[in-house]
Amino acid sequence: MRIGRLRRAVTAGTALVVGAAGGTVAAVLGAGAATAASSVGGPITRSETLQRSQYWVDRGFTYTQTGTWAPDPQGKTYRRDCSGLVSMAWHLPDSRSTRTFLSWSGKQQLPSLHDLKAGDAVLRDGHIELFARWVNGNRHEDGAYVYSFNNPGETVQNPNAVNNYGKIGKDTWGELNTYIPVRYNNIADDGPPPGSPDNSVLREPNGAISLVVGGVPFHLTPAEYAELGSPPSTAVPEGTFASMPGIIANGTYVRTAGDGAIYVIAGSAKYHLNPSEYAALGAPPARNVPARLVAGLGAVPADNTFLRDPASTAIYQVVGGAKYHLNPSEYAGLGSPAATNVPAGFIARVTASVPVESAFMRDPGTTAIYQIVGGARYHLSPAEYSAMGSPAAINVPAGFINLTATVPRDGSFIRDITDGAIYQIVGGAKYHLSPSEYSALDSAPSTNVPHGLILSITATLPSSGYLRNPDSGAIYQAVNGAKYHLSAAEYAALGSPGAANVPVGFIDRLGTVPADNSFLRDISDTAIYQIVGGAKYHLTPAEFAALGGPAAVNVPHGFAAAITGTRPAGSLFLRDPVSTAIYQVVNGAKFHLNAAEYALLGGPAAINVPAGLLDLLGTQPTDGTLLRDVESTAIYSITAAGKHHLTPAEYAALPDQLTTNVTARFLATFPDA
């Protein structure tokens, strides 16, 4: 993860951009002329990825961890670090991090460094580089030219000229072997691929041998070639391998030479077939391949892969690492795309039903486009969609979209594209991170979103979750706007759940008493408490059942014990669910409202509580309570001596002018002072 800033202007003339992996170099117009043949998140050619990488070279952007993001040729900005460079080169919707690149289903691991082509990447924990070409196409061990962002203040290391640190983008074979080779699933080869039968063995003039599997050439070492029986090879012109497809065709079957295991491949993911599953699929021919060919393939298919269970004929669409079962009309509404027959076990391995990765979805029925981030959806207006760069959107049924939430899941980081402000989401609430707070959280990868999505998240206090202060290591349990500092023993007793690192400012927002109508279960004795008006009430089993057995949050005994209030304070409305009687409560006093009075007060939401809680309330509010006659607007101060009608001057002189609207009949219960 690397970042940078603008250092110098671009010189006039042409820029040399590396061509295909075979080693050719093509002169193109200056980087400013790089065309937008691709759309955000859509297919992109290998040559365009190199043009886009060169664009940052020619603009002199330097690595920084605090600077502003840098634009691509179309003005979309990306983080100025190593993963931001590759994200920009691939025209991704967001700047990924090396951490998220490692787990991302949008890429596949290549079997060997030898299989790298222009526009692929080499990746390890902490760093990623864009592969440009081999130093010597006839001898890969001589190393490779790359685009790489590395150190603060340094411009992009590139294949064409030394950067401001006097370095060129070049890795030795030993350096390359510290990475895994990866390929973007949306990478497209330039021009039509040469015709070559699948399963053939091809040899280029330099002696390199590749096995064609699912339309893709894979480099064979001499030992692997011998292990496969040294099959006859067909001579092909130099550069053939570089111009062939890079993504294995869906429905390809392979057998690993060492153990005879058979796999089916779909969406660049593999599934190991047992004998009965293989037979049920008709025992199609499987190509013998080296084990490393399948070792790098993931378990979850790429976006917009369609899987069909031949036993049940059920068809599933995969997007963002999640699957959705299409009914016949939904499948037809998507145009009945080709689906790959796979066993139910392959489908079952995709466990998520809501996208776990960012995506853009289009409802083909309404043409509405949604951004999916952190498992939540946001309906983009045409202007917002355009401002996001009009990213490629996947057609999905409305039913798939409706499975998503409306607020991103815990641990999501979102970035407002209008001002670059970054927010952390925890417990359904957002927190605006200052630059120093964001840096203290290791500048976690964030997803670009419209300002409207930020505004749609109205909560600022978490409703649930566990928060960790990264400075002190202290862990807090959050329940409906309240926090409780957990001891090590209490945290362990709760099962040591995952805790999100958050700034102390986020923690300090929280109070000590959960919001009204929270339910807490003491894990030490299973006692359940209802929280109302800042007070707790111990529910009997019968009372809890009468309230419908609402969900209760497990908390340590200390959390419940810290809530000392036993009589609700403030102003609220309570309902006895047995009698349906509604009471207005003001600072510890209750008043039974008739239907007309309740309507006169606006029919506010009332909390169902047991009669036992209502019995704890008296008829006299705390001294100094201010009540306002909802009809006459007269304001009264209530004391033990009774009520006193305040003149406008007396009311204006009060330091605290908070009043509660009540009915005249409530006021009549207090004598005149």
d(CA 415, CA 455): 12
**Sequence ranges of the chain with CATH classification 3.90.1720:** 44-188
pLDDT at 197: 58
CB 297 within 8 A of CB 328: no
d(CA 198, CA 212): 6
CA-to-CA separations, 549 to 501, 535, 580, in angstroms, rounded: 33, 19, 18
CATH class of 44-188: alpha beta
pLDDT at 81: 95
d(CA 577, CA 415): 45
Residue in this structure with the two tokens 């005994």, named with its chain if needed:
557
Q: Is 425 helix (H, G, I), strand (E, B) or coil?
A: strand
Q: Which range among 25-29, 41-45, 277-281, 411-415 shows the weakest confidence by mean pLDDT?
A: 25-29
Q: Once rounded to an integer, what is the mean pLDDT over residues 128-155? A: 95
Residue in this structure with the two tokens 């064609």, named with its chain if needed:
212
Indicate if the pLDDT at residue 445 is higher than 50: yes
Query: Hey, which bits of 137-293 come out as E strands?
Result: 144-147, 170-171, 180-184, 187-188, 201-203, 209-213, 216-220, 234-235, 252-256, 262-266, 269-273, 287-289
Indicate if the pLDDT at residue 360 is higher than 70: yes
Q: Once rounded to an integer, what is the mean pLDDT over residues 396-423? A: 96
Kind of pairing, strands 252-256 and 528-532? unpaired
pLDDT at 24: 33
Q: Once rounded to an integer, what is the mean pLDDT over residues 404-427? A: 95
The four Cα atoms 216, 217, 220, 225 give a dihedral, to 10 degrees, of: 90
Percent of the chain with pLDDT over 70: 93
> 571-668 in CATH: which number?
3.30.2390
pLDDT at 195: 60
**What's the chain's average pLDDT?**
91
Q: Which of 57, 25, 16 is nearest to 135 (CA)?
A: 25
For 168-184, write each residue's pLDDT tens digit. 999 999 999 999 999 99
Indicate if the pLDDT at residue 222 is higher than 60: yes
For 622-639, write each residue's pLDDT tens digit. 999 999 999 999 999 999
pLDDT at 193: 63
pLDDT, greater one: 13 or 104: 104
The 3 state secondary structure assigned to 287-345 is EEECHHHHHCCECCCCCCEEEECCCCCCEEEEECCEEEEECHHHHHHCCCCCCEECCHH
pLDDT, greater one: 606 or 24: 606
Q: Once rounded to an integer, what is the mean pLDDT over residues 325-329? A: 98
pLDDT at 527: 98
pLDDT at 258: 82
* 542's tokens: 């019968």
Kind of pairing, strands 475-479 and 482-486? antiparallel
d(CA 163, CA 169): 9
**Sequence ranges of the chain with CATH classification 3.30.2390:** 571-668
CB 281 within 8 A of CB 271: no
Q: Which range among 151-155, 191-195, 211-215, 249-253 shows the weakest confidence by mean pLDDT?
A: 191-195
The model's confidence at residue 34, banded by pLDDT at 50, 70 and 90, is very low
Q: Once rounded to an integer, what is the mean pLDDT over residues 558-565? A: 96
Kind of pairing, strands 535-539 and 582-586? unpaired
Q: How many CB atoms lie within 10 A of CB 149?
A: 32
d(CA 192, CA 169): 29
**Total residue count of the chain as it appears in this document:** 673
Q: Which of 10, 4, 119, 146 is nearest to 67 (CA)?
A: 4
State the alpha helices, DSSP H only, in 116-228. Answer: 173-176, 222-227
CB 583 within 8 A of CB 550: no
Q: Please name the helix (run of DSSP H) or strand (run of DSSP E) that holds residue 559, with its range, or none.
A: helix 557-561
